[in-house]
């Protein structure tokens, strides 16, 4: 099967600064792919190369089987791109934005009305279709941008930080719509984000990128498992005897046991499956359990492991800056 | 080719829709040319110091004032391009199937369209204050085409400048620095023959001279003997600027 995105030894250099450093990446067709990394990691640069806006310094990149450098025009016919900044005209209505985009993309007049209507409907903008975009909230503008991008039925949708600055409810709606589209029509979605939870919940595969290097590509559960086992923490009324500890260690699927006063920590492959056996050992030893907490490794832990930092540095400053740019743009 | 024409037409439609929603710019930008006609024109014509043949001075400068204001609109279209750069619109257009020259010519002709609205505003006002405009429909249409084509060329120049300067602050100053010297160094306010020799030769390579000459022939004097040369010069100017702006366009989003 053809890859949605296939990148080999891709580097991009701005003067002395290496924005992308030998990136290799293959994204299978039909997947929702998340590029996760802090600001300045190279996410936007990679997306702009894949959408033919920038040329790589070295290496090759294919989108849906087409070379982004030598077959740029064909790639542009297949992709839809929503930049991080605002990409709609604010001094005309939502409907007019969709109309102009549909004409620029050469949609036949016979399909236009239905496509625009469907896109407005999908993004819940039908009621405000004839309002000036300048009066819209940030969330509505983002939905309109997505409506423009989806309307033309692209082979692959590139979204650069699609939910930055959106409220949690809108974020969820947007993701549910995008996932439904991906599942129903098989539209490839390639997005960048620095929200770990978004990558965790909504993507099929996550690529972690940091300082221009793509450190790993895996599904969210693979990433979490690669960090380590589940942790079960048990507070007891009395101290555990050495026999109980060795009984615990002998259980299937247990990789570590340690005690600290009345607190017992167990590392298990799957905390749910092992819990009953652990409790059995404790009961046999007549130990009263006061409290049990089980925790699974999070995508944050995985990010920490692969990117070597948990610091989404500058995220807050960037967000404030983006918000002020957006405000200025809306005011015109 | 058909795709490119479609894209250019879409961008003209976008501009018409924009103007329909908000005419503030057209109205505000009309104030300056109206001052030229009402104040400068009236005062100078009472002095009879500039030889304009048998044409009243206000009538003589009307085409020049019209061209100055429409090309100013076109030059400041670069600000819209810079806005579209700061927002993500240009990135999105560059990633769309639209060829770069179609984006550049489309955005330029959108500005030409905006300039045309300005002309439609100024001509009736000029008549209202007593300027005698030739009401030949063919001439009026031809003048509209000249204004449109010429303003589109100036808009492409502003796109080229925007792709070099990239910030609105730097751009603001430059707009006036381009239009005013071209305006004063042309036949807009006085016949070329009344200029010092050096300025005369500069006026002959100034595209504004040819635009004004064409408009003056079509709107006021009815003498269109130079129209062929005028249009040819304007078309060469447009072709050169369209090519340069297209060539440099990708730099604007880098």
Residues A59 and A207 in one domain: yes
- The pLDDT of A150-171, averaged and rounded, is 90
**H helix count then E strand count, chain A:** 12, 14
Residue A301 lies in a domain: no
Taking only the tens place, the pLDDT of each residue in A263-291 is 888 888 888 888 888 888 888 888 888 88
Residues A61 and A191 in one domain: yes
Q: Does A89 touch chain B (CB under 8 A)?
A: yes
Residue A253, pLDDT score = 83
Residues A67 and A173 in one domain: yes
A92–B17: do the CB atoms touch at under 8 Å?
yes
Does ipTM surpass 0.85 in this model?
yes
Q: Is the pLDDT of residue A331 over 80?
A: no
DSSP string, B99-128: -HHHHHHHHHHHHHHHHHHHHHHHHHHHHH
Question: Which chain A residues touch B254 with a CB distance below 8 Å?
Answer: 54
Share of chain A above pLDDT 70, in %: 92
Calpha distance A160→B11 (Å, rounded) = 25
Residue A285, pLDDT score = 84
Segment (H or E) for B136: none
* Token reading at B199: 């300025």
Across chain A, mean pLDDT equals 87
Residues A159 and A273 in one domain: no
- The pLDDT of B8-25, averaged and rounded, is 92
Band of pLDDT at residue A332, cut at 50, 70 and 90: very low
Domain membership of residue A247 as a residue range: 229-296
Residue A61 lies in a domain: yes
Residues A220 and A142 in one domain: yes
Q: Is the pLDDT of residue B143 over 90?
A: yes
Band of pLDDT at residue A322, cut at 50, 70 and 90: low
Residue A154 lies in a domain: yes
Residue A282 belongs to a domain with what CATH number? 3.30.70.100
Nearest-CA distance from A111 to chain B in Å?
Answer: 16
- The pTM score is 0.85
Calpha distance A44→B46 (Å, rounded) = 64
Question: Which chain A residues touch B89 with a CB distance below 8 Å?
Answer: 86-89
Band of pLDDT at residue A311, cut at 50, 70 and 90: low
- Going from N- to C-terminal start, the domains of chain B cover 2-41+55-253
Taking only the tens place, the pLDDT of each residue in B44-66 is 888 877 888 788 999 999 999 99
- The pLDDT of B129-152, averaged and rounded, is 94
Among A87, A147, A161, the residue to mutate for chain B (most B Cβ within 10 A): A87
Residue A70 lies in a domain: yes
Band of pLDDT at residue A314, cut at 50, 70 and 90: very low
Count of domains forming chain A: 2
A91–B18: do the CB atoms touch at under 8 Å?
yes
Kindly report the number of other CB atoms within 10 A of residue A222's CB atom: 13
Of the partner residues A73, A100, A158, the one whose CB lies closest to the CB of residue B97: A73
Calpha distance B105→B90 (Å, rounded) = 14
Residue B41, pLDDT score = 86
Nearest-CA distance from A37 to chain B in Å?
Answer: 21
Q: Is the pLDDT of residue A261 over 90?
A: no
Residue A130, pLDDT score = 95
Nearest-CA distance from A208 to chain B in Å?
Answer: 25
Q: Does B12 touch chain A (CB under 8 A)?
A: no
Across chain B, mean pLDDT equals 91
A91–B3: do the CB atoms touch at under 8 Å?
no
Q: Is the pLDDT of residue A36 over 70?
A: yes
Residues A113 and A99 in one domain: yes
Residue A279, pLDDT score = 87
Residue A280 lies in a domain: yes
């Amino acid at each position: 099967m053809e890859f949605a995105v296939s990148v080999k030894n891709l580097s991009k250099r701005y003067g002395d600064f290496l924005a992308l450093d030998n990136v290799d990446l293959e994204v299978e067709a039909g997947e929702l792919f998340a590029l996760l990394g802090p600001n300045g990691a190279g996410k936007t640069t990679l997306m702009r190369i894949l959408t033919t806006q920038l040329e790589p310094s070295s290496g090759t990149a294919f989108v849906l089987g087409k070379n982004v450098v030598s077959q740029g025009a064909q790639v542009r016919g297949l992709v839809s791109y929503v930049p991080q900044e605002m990409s709609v005209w604010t001094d005309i209505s939502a409907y007019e934005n969709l109309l102009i985009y549909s004409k620029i993309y050469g949609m036949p007049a016979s399909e236009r009305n239905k496509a625009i209507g469907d896109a407005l409907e999908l993004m819940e903008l039908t009621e405000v279709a004839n309002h000036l975009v300048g009066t819209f909230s940030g969330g509505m503008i983002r939905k309109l941008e997505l409506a423009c991008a989806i309307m033309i039925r692209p082979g692959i949708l590139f979204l650069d930080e699609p939910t930055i600055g959106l409220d949690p409810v809108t974020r969820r709606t947007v993701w549910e719509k995008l996932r439904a589209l991906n599942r129903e029509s098989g539209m490839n979605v390639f997005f960048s984000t620095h929200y770990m939870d978004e990558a965790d919940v909504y993507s099929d595969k996550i690529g972690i990128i940091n300082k221009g290097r793509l450190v790993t590509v895996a599904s969210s559960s693979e990433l979490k498992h690669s960090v380590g086992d589940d942790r079960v923490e048990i507070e007891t009324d009395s101290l555990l005897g050495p026999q109980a500890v060795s009984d615990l260690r002998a259980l299937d699927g247990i990789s570590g046991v340690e005690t600290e006063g009345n607190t017992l920590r167990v590392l298990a492959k799957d905390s749910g499956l092992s819990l009953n056996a652990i409790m059995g050992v404790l009961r046999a030893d007549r130990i009263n359990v006061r409290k049990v907490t089980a925790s699974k490794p999070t995508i944050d832990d995985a990010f920490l492991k692969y990117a070597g930092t948990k610091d989404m540095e500058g995220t807050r400053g960037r967000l404030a800056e983006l918000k002020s740019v957006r405000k200025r743009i809306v005011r015109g | 080719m058909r795709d490119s024409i479609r894209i250019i037409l879409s961008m003209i439609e976008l501009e018409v829709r924009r103007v329909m929603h908000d005419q503030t710019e057209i109205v505000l930008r009309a104030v300056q040319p109206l001052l030229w006609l009402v104040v400068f024109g009236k005062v100078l014509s009472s002095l009879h110091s500039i030889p304009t043949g048998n044409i009243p001075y206000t009538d003589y400068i009307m085409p020049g004032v019209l061209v100055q204001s429409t090309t100013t609109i076109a030059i400041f279209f670069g600000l819209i391009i810079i806005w579209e750069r700061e927002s993500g619109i240009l990135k999105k257009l560059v990633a769309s199937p639209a060829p770069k020259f179609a984006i550049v010519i489309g955005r330029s002709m959108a500005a030409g369209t905006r300039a045309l609205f300005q002309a439609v505003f100024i001509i009736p006002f000029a008549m209202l204050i007593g300027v005698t405009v030739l009401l030949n429909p063919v001439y009026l249409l031809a003048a509209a085409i000249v204004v449109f084509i010429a303003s589109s060329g100036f808009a492409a120049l502003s796109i080229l400048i925007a792709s070099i300067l990239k910030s609105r602050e730097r751009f603001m100053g430059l707009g006036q620095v381009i239009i005013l010297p071209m305006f004063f160094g042309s036949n807009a306010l006085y016949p070329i023959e009344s200029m010092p020799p050096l300025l005369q030769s500069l006026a002959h390579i100034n595209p504004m001279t040819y635009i004004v000459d064409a408009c003056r022939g079509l709107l006021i004097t009815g003498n269109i003997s130079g129209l062929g040369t005028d249009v040819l010069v304007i078309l060469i100017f447009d072709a050169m600027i369209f090519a340069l702006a297209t060539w440099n366009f990708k730099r604007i989003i880098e």
